[in-house]
Structure 1
Amino acid sequence: MRFKCLLLLVLFFIFSNARGQANFEHIINYSVYYGWAHNAPQDWVVLRKFENRGKPYFLMVNPQTLQTKVDEPAAYQFKPMTLPQLRGMFKNSAYARALGEAEKKSVMIQNAGIERGIPTEMGISLTADLCPSHRPLDKRIFTDMISGFQKVERPVPIALSISGVWMQRHQADLQWLKQLQQKQEIYITWVNHSFTHRVSASRPLKENFLLEPGTNISYEVLETEKLMLKEGLLPSVFFRFPGLVSDQQLVYAITNFGLIPIGTDAWLAKGQHPQAGSIVLIHGNGNEPVGVAEFIKLLQQKAPSIAKKQWLLYDLRETVDEEFEGSH
């Protein structure tokens, strides 16, 4: 199964680099829009529609692999549907199962969503959050990761939870990341981390981050996706709550956008130790040097296993789709 997923990832990487992810700089009428799209032999779930320079586009997800793509609707057989109808239609898919699993954990005030992948994996899925920050990108994460895996895993997969404000304030760092991906040194899954990443030093958790009164969740989700597309980034189907803070109503608000909330079972800066299949959290925005240092130490400790391909980094989509695909 891992070979199949890696092959699909490599083929997609080659294909996407050949075409290039377009920069949609003139987006209008960006909206939530659900439906079934088919281009033989593949079914797709349509999540959004928009126009750019007079052309219509869909943002879609493959319900089996969780891979997203943007394409023009003309090449597809299409039927508008509600999200509940789509979840029923693809009820045995990794996409529908992951949405349901995230909703089961929606009552948690912190760390709701998918926390880990497959326990049998010999390795982890690395996620790094890019919250708004005045500090530059912590590039050690990427240079050490590339160096550590250069002989066994290329491109190296990483999921970056990116906020809109970080993108606006860190253009040079963003271009640097895009160049690493274009050179096929890393493969980035871009995770929606809200636009403003609101936070208060004084408010309790139940009124903090996206739970702060007056938060416009539609703005936080959709404006981030629009800016990703403008910057040439491909939005994934994942969402990470700022501060990992949410409530049941907020979790369902996010899944109603067709997005899968992801948490973590190993926030390194808090002393949590990763296990096989862990979704690991560090911050790459310069605000959490302790977590970055712990990750670099982990790479050093695992160097012998990495060399033998006995400890690897997993693409976030791969670990989630393998965990939730098929019947359990």
Structure 2
Amino acid sequence: MLIVSLSCTLTLSANAQANYLKITEYRVYFGWAKRFLQDWMVLRRFENAGRQYMMLVNPQTLETRIDEPKDYQIKPMTMEEARSFFKSTPYQRALSKAEKQSVMTQDAGIEMGMPKESGISLTADLCPSHRPLDKKIFTDIFSEFQKVEKPAPIALSITGIWMRQHPGDLEWLKQMERKGEIYITWINHSFNHRVSKTLPLKENFLLEPGTDINYEVLETEKAMLKNGLLPSVFFRFPGLVSDQQLVNRITDFGLIPIGTDAWLAKGQQPQAGSIVLIHGNGNEPVGVNDFIDLLRSKTRAIAQKQWLLYDLRESVDDEFESAN
């Protein structure tokens, strides 16, 4: 769990290089698929330049991939049938846990992994912003971890608007990943990330009346694919604001809501296994500086492999494997 696995790296090289620029008929589609004795759950189907594709998740590892259906055995299912079929897997247990932790208006979803050693899962949100990417986060991560953990894993919650406004910054991140300096898990953070300074939380962000949740989720995934990014099975609510109905809408897409127990800019201190939240869009210098200070305070522990970054997927997966 400490180092990104070989299977993750192979999936990255096979999928993240492709840019699907002519996507049509992109839709939610559930089912069972099998290839080389491996069971997968189908989440999406779409066409690109006249060819059929599907997005799948490995329910044991939470690994996603884009592939053509022609090489798989496939059985279409409803969402209920698929969840029942895969009910004993870490993926389905994570979906169920996220639904049970959705009673709060803020910070619903999984807030903490379960690492085998001391360390955290780092998540950085890329909300719409006129400011450039805060690159110091990523260069400092690489500098601290290059001798003990390369590539260093980070999960980025990305919005469609940010991708549209910051193509240069997005290419810089992809270049860091191509160089093997960091490994990115891409989290869906909605397309527009609307927010009002006057509306109460129960009517704000994705709870704003008239919000088209299908657009917010699926258009973000399409934008990821068009930009050569591989969507994960994770979703982070804008503002960490949701309600029970909205959480269930997200899990109906097959996505796992991810919260945080350590939003650094709010003074929340990370513990072993924390899912840490900072903003990398230039809007939260306090949180960024706090994380850099945290890195510096852990220099010796990092060098001794006693404090590491965890791949979010493997951290969540490990929690449910341990529970089982």
Relative to the length of structure 2, the TM-score reads 0.98
Q: Which residue of 1 aligns with 2:152?
A: 156
Letter in 2 for 1:269: A
Q: CA deviation at 1:60?
A: 0.5
Relative distance call for 1:221 and 1:19 in structure 2 (3 A) is closer
List aligned pairs for 1:18-57, cutoff 5 A: 21-57=17-53
2:135 to 134, 139, 157: 139
Q: Distance in 1 between matches of 2:26 and 2:133?
A: 29
Counterpart in the other structure of 1:111: 107
After TM superposition, list the pairs within 5 Å mapping 1:1-328 onto structure 2: 2=1, 6=3, 9-14=5-10, 16-17=12-13, 21-118=17-114, 120-325=116-321, 328=324
Cα pair 2:117 2:306 within 8 Å, conserved: no
Rate the CA distance shift 1:326–1:45 in 2: closer, same or farther, 3 A: farther
Partner of 1:23: helix, strand, or coil? Answer: coil
2:157·2:189 contact (CA, 8 Å) conserved in 1? yes
Q: Is the 8 A contact 1:25 1:52 kept in 2?
A: yes
In structure 1, the gaps of 5 or more residues are: none
Cα distance in 1 for partners of 2:147, 2:237 equals 34
Shift of 1:106: 1.4
Quick check: 2:188–2:221 contact (8 Å CA) kept in 1?
Answer: yes
TM-superposition CA deviations, 1:52-111 (whole Å, max 9, x none)? 010000000000000000000000000001111111111111100000000001111000
**What residue ranges of structure 2 are gaps of 5+ in the alignment?**
none
- 8 Å contact 2:11–2:65 — kept in the other structure? no
Residues 26 and 194 of structure 1: CA distance in aligned 2, closer, same or farther (over 3 Å): same
Aligned length: 324
The one-letter code matched in structure 2 to 1:140 is K
1:175-225 Cα shifts (integer Å, max 9, x gaps): 000000011110000000000001000000000000000000000000000
Q: CA deviation at 1:18?
A: 5.9
Residues 243 and 42 of structure 1: CA distance in aligned 2, closer, same or farther (over 3 Å): same
Query: Which moves more between the two structures, 295-304 or 115-124?
Result: 115-124
- Aligned letter for 2:125? D
CA distance in 1, matches of 2:28, 2:15: 25
Identity, in percent, stands at 68
Q: Kindly indicate whether the alpha-carbon contact (under 8 Å) linking 1:67 and 1:317 is maintained by their aligned counterparts in 2.
A: yes
Shift of residue 146 of structure 1?
Answer: 0.2
- State the Cα deviation string for residues 123-171 of structure 1 (Å, max 9, x = none): 0000000000000000010000000001000000000000000000000
